[in-house]
């Protein structure tokens, strides 16, 4: 068993306790970040005269060869080691001798793992931001193509008023755009370097924490060494942002599932993102959308798990914090895969425009505009509301829409009706005369789409700037 402690112990740790305590099974995915941090640390140690330049070069070269061998499959990360830190240090010492024993000078595993997680999450914020951009770009493209695709808007899952597909998807654009901004906020607060905080109280070595932070392209060093090793706020924030993304994906998935049903028929999902039944040959199931909806609870669980883990931990570091990794890794992987798959499914989805328009007509989505028509003819709104309600009941009995009634029938309910009512309550008129900011009118939507283009360009510039943080 390779470990970084043991001098004050006389006996061996119980084998089951070793496995229970070890984190190598999951923190091995931090190897790149651990090497990145170690190289910056020894570079700083050499600058401060704590180790020699020759020792620094030996350590850096040794770490590079270890990483190359792991990547090439020549060196396995096994459970012989307690964690990724002991794996690297033990193998480094095997390769370069005593110089490798100096790598950990002025450092604790507490500030080391705190650094590794910040570096890892910083990269995953960028990766998630990239796939969010793809979702936003796809949505905006569909919006541009569907300014005049009429469909029913819903409240309480009941058809309410006519909108357009561009307007409906614009709501999701706003949701995912807010998600993108939350990711930017997470990055702002996490981008500080904890290395040099030691176990909890700093160190007596003359470390240059500002230099280390600069090497690793952080905004600066963290302010308090106890907080540095015990802070997981940035990770909770990230999991919260991922949970919001999944909540929006789940809502969108629910609508796709409904729209894909035989009763609605608004969309046809590409075969690449559907599955069939083992017994019913006619079935084409929206499994990707259903799985995205289902996996949302998994990401929520990760957030709740970390909140519960952190709620009772006294300062500074406690081993409970090791529980931050598995749930976070799973939540990150889950959210990214859901975003990628859903975006691809959306990009290849066929929108059945004629069916959407028919559904809007059949659902009395023109009723509000019919009431407004009477108001404009001098009928008090409350009376107009009652008149249209009675007309709707009449239409339900006749199995038709308001616009299907002849003018004589309409005049039977209110003499104020005239031939111009049919134009006034057409889907086109109902949508196009809604011109307030945020409404579905095509001229308003064109402005929204132009604003989206600007926001996407600014966001992409920010996301691309993250690439300068690569070591």
Helices (H), 2-108: 15-21, 24-27, 31-47, 53-71, 84-96
Q: Which residues pair with 285 in a beta bridge?
A: 275
- Check 277, 328, 426, 448 and give the catalytic one: 277
156 is catalytic: yes
* Cβ contact 66:20 at 8 Å: no
Handedness of CA 449, 453, 454, 458 (dihedral sign): positive
Peptide bond into 128 cis (omega under 30): no
- Check 156, 278, 385, 465 and give the catalytic one: 156
250 is catalytic: no
Distance CA 38, CA 60 (A): 8
Q: Is 228 helix (H, G, I), strand (E, B) or coil?
A: helix
What tokens appear for 398 in the block?
């006749």
Q: How far apart are the first and last CA of the chain?
A: 31
What tokens appear for 22 in the block?
């070890």
Q: Which residues of 252-268 are buried (b: 16+ CB within 10 A; e: fewer)?
A: bbebbbbbbeeebebbb
Distance CA 435, CA 372 (A): 15
* Cβ contact 85:66 at 8 Å: no
Give the C-alpha distances (Å, rounded to integers) separating 439 from 214, 233, 347, 443, 456. Answer: 47, 38, 24, 10, 21
Let me know how many helices (H) and strands (E) the chain has, helices first. Answer: 19, 6
* Cβ contact 267:351 at 8 Å: yes
Q: Is 342 helix (H, G, I), strand (E, B) or coil?
A: helix
DSSP sequence for 98-148: GGGGGTTTT--HHHHHHHHHHHHHHHHHHHHHHHHHHHHHHHHHHHHH-TT
* Cβ contact 162:115 at 8 Å: no
Give the C-alpha distances (Å, rounded to integers) separating 200 from 80, 225, 229. Answer: 28, 5, 6
- Residues with catalytic annotation? 156, 277
């Amino acid at each position: 068993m390779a470990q970084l402690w043991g001098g004050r112990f006389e006996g061996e740790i119980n084998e089951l306790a070793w496995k229970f305590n070890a984190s190598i099974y999951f923190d091995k995915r931090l190897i790149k970040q651990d090497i990145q941090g170690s190289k910056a640390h020894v570079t700083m140690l050499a600058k401060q005269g704590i180790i020699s330049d020759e020792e620094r070069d030996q350590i850096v070269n040794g770490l590079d060869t270890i990483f190359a061998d792991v990547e090439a499959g020549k060196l396995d990360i096994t459970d012989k080691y307690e964690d990724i830190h002991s794996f690297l240090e033990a193998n480094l010492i095997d390769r370069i001798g005593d110089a490798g024993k100096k790598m950990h000078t002025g450092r604790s595993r507490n500030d080391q793992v705190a650094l590794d997680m910040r570096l890892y999450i910083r990269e995953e914020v960028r990766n998630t931001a990239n796939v969010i951009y793809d979702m936003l770009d796809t949505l905006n493209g569909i919006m541009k193509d569907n300014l005049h695709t009429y469909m029913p808007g819903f409240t309480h899952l009941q058809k309410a008023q006519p909108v357009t597909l561009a307007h409906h998807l614009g709501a999701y654009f706003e949701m995912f755009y807010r998600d993108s901004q939350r990711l930017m906020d997470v990055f702002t607060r996490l981008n500080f370097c904890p290395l040099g905080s030691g176990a909890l109280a700093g160190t007596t070595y003359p470390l240059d924490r500002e230099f280390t932070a600069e090497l690793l392209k952080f905004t600066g060093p963290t302010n308090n060494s106890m907080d540095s090793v015990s802070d997981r706020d940035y990770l909770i924030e990230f999991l919260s942002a991922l949970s919001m993304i999944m909540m929006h994906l789940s809502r969108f998935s629910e609508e796709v599932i409904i729209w894909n049903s035989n009763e609605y028929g608004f969309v046809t999902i590409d075969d690449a993102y559907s599955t069939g039944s083992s017994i019913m040959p006619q079935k084409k199931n929206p499994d990707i959308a259903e799985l995205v909806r289902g996996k949302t609870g998994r990401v929520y669980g990760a957030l709740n798990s970390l909140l519960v883990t952190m709620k009772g931990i006294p300062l500074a570091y406690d081993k409970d914090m090791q529980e931050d990794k598995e749930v976070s890794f799973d939540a990150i992987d889950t959210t990214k895969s859901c975003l990628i798959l859903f975006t691809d499914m959306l990009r290849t989805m066929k929108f059945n425009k004629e069916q959407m328009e028919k559904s809007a007509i059949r659902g009395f989505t023109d009723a509000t505009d019919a009431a407004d028509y009477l108001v404009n003819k001098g009928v008090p709104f409350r009376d107009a509301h009652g008149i249209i309600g009675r007309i709707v009941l009449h239409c339900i009995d006749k199995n038709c829409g308001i616009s299907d009634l002849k003018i004589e029938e309409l005049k039977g309910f209110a003499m104020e009706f005239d031939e111009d009512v049919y134009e006034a309550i057409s889907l086109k008129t109902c949508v196009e005369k809604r011109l307030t900011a945020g409404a579905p009118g095509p001229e308003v939507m064109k402005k929204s789409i132009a604003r989206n283009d600007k926001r996407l360009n600014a966001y992409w510039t920010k996301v691309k700037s993250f690439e300068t943080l690569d070591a």
